[in-house]
């Protein structure tokens, strides 16, 4: 059947001349995978039968190699053992006319020091030297010489960043529905940055906050979560979507977009994965991943212990209702995810209330849920409302905070309503009951006489709400359209064109 095997190359719209296929199986032919398996199966057996080699033990089972389609990893505990396995591979390939792509081949000697050790040098495939490396990417996950997952995280973030930039370039932020951007994030960026999270999530800040007895304040827990490379990317996208600056506080960003950290979505994947391993154990499977699971349990390694604490904390019932014949509970992943979200919302709420910078935000926001203004069609209006609510603006209350101006009150007073002269102000504040007129959000939208005419133009409903100080109400879905128009004009008056 392979006698007349041929193919054509398709480039843009042109087809090449027909050429013969001299090696390998046919691309896309239904029999190809089966034929390939017939060949490769023997390699697996031969590697398992190499005599006198030391290989890692997982749950009393020797693991000589991992094979995924044609991606091969050989594992050994000594240089000599590895060389013997490479020799076996070499003779197998010579017998069957297969070729190893030596450019994609490398030796990695794991060790705690993180240095390339001498024994990793000059291993040979035939007469070719196999390069020794510090990290290697197998099936999309980068393994580092020290066993750390940091490089892997950095690379996933890079991939996520690329997906983010291509998303940014291909949509028009001024005309797209903002909730569509959030959906695009979840279908284009989230799968990229969460790749392999079933394995690495237990090492993230979010999991540490969830499983360790954290004595830290809520605010610090939130900053730790925000520093995670993947969450950091998520927050950047949210800030871009809302049209606010990068340095805007994170609390109102999670709050107004109604989004929890993306790690909470990965929690479900982690627990589902854990449960699959438990079921493999129940079935006494010989699958290698089940052996790895038992080994994690027996040695009390981080992945297992931390996943266990998470499950015990967020689904206690599962431990009590252990299924018959099973050694481990299978917690409810959906329940855990939603409880972790509730945990985050509580932390978010406490941190919000204790923040001195978020005075205005606290007066307009109770729960972490999508704000009606995010759905407004006009991007400029979404932006101006986001500026006002998140204090991502240049009103003096904010600009007066920066640099050496910090704590000097005369930089924060309203330019229209108060003198900016330092000495006069100091004299004034030495009098009893004298309050400075700070240009803050409340003063800006309700009190400052400078914008009286803009207020007069508004409907009686909005005017009423402003007068009574019902700021929460001006942002609800019935009033947000008019409020956004009003706030847009206020900013335009105050700072010129936006
Ligand atoms: Zn004023």
- Best CA proximity match to 53, nearest among 63, 44, 45: 63
| Crossing angle of the two packed helices 150-170 and 229-242, in degrees rounded to 10 | 20
Give the Å distance between the CA of 292 and the centre of ligand 1.
67
What's the mean pLDDT in 454-465? 95
Give the Å distance between the CA of 474 and the centre of ligand 1.
20
Give the Å distance between the CA of 494 and the centre of ligand 1.
11
Total residue length of the chain: 498
How far is residue 360 CA from its own chain's centroid?
Answer: 29
- What distance in Å separates the CA atoms of residue 65 and residue 124, rounded to the nearest whole number? 18
Give the Å distance between the CA of 34 and the centre of ligand 1.
78
**Joined tokens for residue 138:** 């197998």
What's the mean pLDDT in 258-277? 97
Q: 195-221 pLDDT, tens per residue?
A: 999 999 999 999 999 998 767 889 999
Give the Å distance between the CA of 415 and the centre of ligand 1.
7
407: pLDDT strictly greater than 60: no
Give the Å distance between the CA of 421 and the centre of ligand 1.
15
What's the mean pLDDT in 156-164? 96
Tell me phi and psi for residue 141, to 5 degrees. -115, 130
- What distance in Å separates the CA atoms of residue 114 and residue 110, rounded to the nearest whole number? 7
**What's the pLDDT score for residue 402?**
61
Q: 371-381 pLDDT, tens per residue?
A: 999 999 999 99
Q: What is the DSSP string of 63-112?
A: --EEEETTEEEE--SSHHHHHHHHHHHHHHHHHHT----GGG--B----T
pTM: 0.89
Give the Å distance between the CA of 442 and the centre of ligand 1.
10
Give the Å distance between the CA of 443 and the centre of ligand 1.
6
What's the mean pLDDT in 472-479? 96
Q: Look at phi and psi of residue 218 and say left if phi exceeds 0, alpha if psi is from -120 to 50, else beta.
A: alpha
Give the Å distance between the CA of 417 and the centre of ligand 1.
4
**What's the pLDDT score for residue 177?**
92
Whether the CB-CB separation of 368 and 353 falls below 8 Å is answered with no
**What's the pLDDT score for residue 404?**
52
Whether the CB-CB separation of 289 and 277 falls below 8 Å is answered with yes
- What distance in Å separates the CA atoms of residue 279 and residue 325, rounded to the nearest whole number? 11
Give the Å distance between the CA of 77 and the centre of ligand 1.
74
Give the Å distance between the CA of 414 and the centre of ligand 1.
5
Give the Å distance between the CA of 441 and the centre of ligand 1.
10
Q: 269-319 pLDDT, tens per residue?
A: 999 999 999 999 999 999 999 999 999 999 999 999 999 999 999 998 887
Whether the CB-CB separation of 484 and 376 falls below 8 Å is answered with yes
Ranking 13-27, 70-84, 263-277 by mean pLDDT, the lowest is: 13-27
Give the Å distance between the CA of 103 and the centre of ligand 1.
69
- What distance in Å separates the CA atoms of residue 108 and residue 327, rounded to the nearest whole number? 36
76: pLDDT strictly greater than 60: yes
Say how many Å lie between the first and final Cα of the chain, rounded: 70
Give the Å distance between the CA of 364 and the centre of ligand 1.
21
Give the Å distance between the CA of 38 and the centre of ligand 1.
82
- What distance in Å separates the CA atoms of residue 331 and residue 190, rounded to the nearest whole number? 24
Give the Å distance between the CA of 405 and the centre of ligand 1.
20
Give the Å distance between the CA of 451 and the centre of ligand 1.
8
At which residue do the structure tokens 């890692």 appear? Answer: 56
Tell me phi and psi for residue 166, to 5 degrees. -70, -30
Give the Å distance between the CA of 245 and the centre of ligand 1.
25
What's the mean pLDDT in 71-96? 95
264: pLDDT strictly greater than 80: yes
Give the Å distance between the CA of 403 and the centre of ligand 1.
23
**What's the pLDDT score for residue 25?**
77
**Joined tokens for residue 15:** 């087809």
């Amino acid at each position: 059947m392979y006698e007349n095997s041929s193919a054509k190359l398709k480039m843009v719209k042109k087809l090449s001349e027909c050429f013969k296929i001299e090696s390998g199986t046919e691309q896309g032919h239904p029999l190809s995978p089966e034929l390939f398996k017939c060949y490769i199966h023997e390699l697996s057996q031969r590697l398992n039968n190499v005599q006198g080699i030391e290989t890692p033990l997982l749950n009393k089972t020797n693991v000589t190699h991992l094979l995924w389609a044609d991606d091969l990893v050989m594992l050994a505990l000594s240089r000599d053992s590895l060389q013997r396995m490479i020799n076996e591979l070499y003779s197998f390939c010579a017998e069957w006319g297969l070729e190893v792509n030596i450019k994609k081949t490398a030796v990695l000697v794991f060790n705690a020091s993180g240095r390339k050790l001498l024994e990793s040098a000059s291993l040979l495939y035939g007469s070719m030297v196999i390069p020794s490396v510090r990290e290697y990417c197998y099936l999309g996950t980068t393994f580092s010489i020290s066993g750390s997952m940091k490089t892997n995280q950095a690379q996933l973030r890079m991939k996520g960043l690329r997906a983010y930039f291509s998303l940014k370039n291909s949509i028009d932020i001024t005309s797209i529905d903002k909730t569509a951007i959030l959906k695009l994030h979840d279908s284009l960026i989230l799968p990229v940055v969460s790749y392999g999270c079933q394995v690495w999530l237990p090492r993230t800040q979010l999991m540490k906050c969830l499983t360790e007895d954290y004595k830290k304040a809520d605010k610090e827990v939130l900053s730790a979560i925000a520093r995670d490379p993947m969450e950091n990317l998520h927050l950047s996208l949210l800030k871009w979507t809302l049209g606010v600056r990068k340095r805007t506080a994170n609390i109102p960003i999670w709050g107004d977009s109604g989004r929890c950290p993306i790690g909470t979505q990965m929690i479900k994947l982690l627990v589902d994965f854990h449960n699959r391993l438990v079921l493999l154990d129940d079935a006494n499977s010989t699958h290698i991943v089940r052996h790895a699971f038992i080994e994690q349990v027996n040695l009390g390694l981080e992945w297992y212990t931390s996943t266990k604490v998470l499950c015990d904390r967020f689904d206690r019932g599962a431990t009590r209702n252990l299924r018959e014949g099973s050694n481990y509970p299978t917690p409810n992943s959906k329940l855990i995810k939603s409880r972790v979200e509730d945990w985050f919302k509580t932390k978010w709420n406490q941190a919000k209330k204790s923040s001195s910078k978020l005075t205005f935000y606290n007066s307009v926001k109770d729960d972490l849920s999508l704000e009606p203004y995010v759905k407004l069609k006009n991007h400029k209006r979404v932006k101006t409302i986001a500026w006002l609510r998140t204090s991502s603006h240049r009103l003096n209350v904010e600009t007066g905070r920066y640099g050496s101006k910090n704590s000097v009150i005369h930089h924060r007073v309203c330019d229209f309503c108060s003198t900016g002269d330092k000495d006069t102000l100091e004299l004034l504040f030495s009098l009893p009951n004298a309050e400075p007129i700070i240009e803050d959000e409340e003063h800006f939208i309700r009190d400052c006489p400078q914008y009286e005419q803009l207020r007069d133009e508004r409907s009686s409903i909005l005017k009423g709400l402003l007068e009574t100080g019902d700021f929460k109400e001006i942002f609800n879905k019935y009033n947000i359209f008019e409020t956004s128009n009003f706030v847009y004009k206020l900013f335009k008056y105050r700072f010129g064109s936006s």
